[in-house]
Structure 1
């Protein structure tokens, strides 16, 4: 069974809430979130209700405080779950301009530094052909996170970003 447990206090203390499916508004269940146990699958946490605000992509494991999931604060107000598909393939095309314009590069594996491979700091659009991916604001998988599933993202705001800065990205693979 898919499950995640949210705790109001650090180190899995205080009031808690168990969740087994996506939830657009977690506000009725807890006021803050300082630790999380992910018991199965991949989860995307959102800072605000209705899948808005900062995103955090978490795999199975224990996160005793919000810094462990690279959180900026203790606000988690909505969540979604995604199951890993065995034998999944991965393919993404990134573009330097909106609407798939400018230079394009295709990737099938993780990229710890977009600048080193693409020679650009900004990604304005992308097409996720296969698999689930996480974009990170900075190189080496640091900073704000953005979850991308298969589809077309004509501008960076389509994946929830405020600016086009993408420093690295990686595939979401089996745990």
Structure 2
């Protein structure tokens, strides 16, 4: 599967995100560097309880296919889902912000 080349594609290497199964960066961890329309295709958990944005700016979507509530995460550490403003730890899709 090839990804279309876009003007923003040059920034893809500058987007890095780590998501965790449990609060306080514990449990299973996955590193993400691209948009994922359905997080469960790669992440076997239904929830994300903590995250570290290492590079770039990301949007968490409550449901797959970039639907539901959106949460903007800038570089930094989010020890619990409430730190990014979510009432529930449901994350269905993630997207890089490339047009700053």
The answer, yes or no, to whether TM exceeds 0.5 is: yes
* Preserved CA contact (<8 Å) 2:34 2:95: yes
Determine which structure has greater relative contact order: mean sequence separation of CA pairs < 8 Å that are 6+ residues apart, divided by chain length: 2
- Give the whole-Å Cα distance in 2 for the aligned partners of 1:139 and 1:97: 20
1:116 corresponds to: 41
| Consecutive aligned runs of 4 or more in structure 1 exceeding 2 Å deviation | none
- Give the whole-Å Cα distance in 1 for the aligned partners of 2:31 and 2:43: 10
- Give the whole-Å Cα distance in 2 for the aligned partners of 1:145 and 1:94: 16
Q: Which has the higher helix share?
A: 2
- Give the whole-Å Cα distance in 2 for the aligned partners of 1:87 and 1:105: 20
Q: Structure 2: which 5+ residue stretches go unaligned?
A: 1-7
2:63 corresponds to: 138
Larger Cα-atom Rg: 1
Query: What is the count of residue pairs matched by the alignment?
Result: 91
User: Which TM-score applies when normalising by structure 2?
Assistant: 0.86
* Preserved CA contact (<8 Å) 2:22 2:48: yes
Q: Deviations over 1:76-130 (max 9, x none)?
A: xxxxxxxx9x847100000000000100000110011111111111000000000
Give the RMSD, CA atoms, in angstroms: 1.8
Q: Structure 1: which 5+ residue stretches go unaligned?
A: 1-83
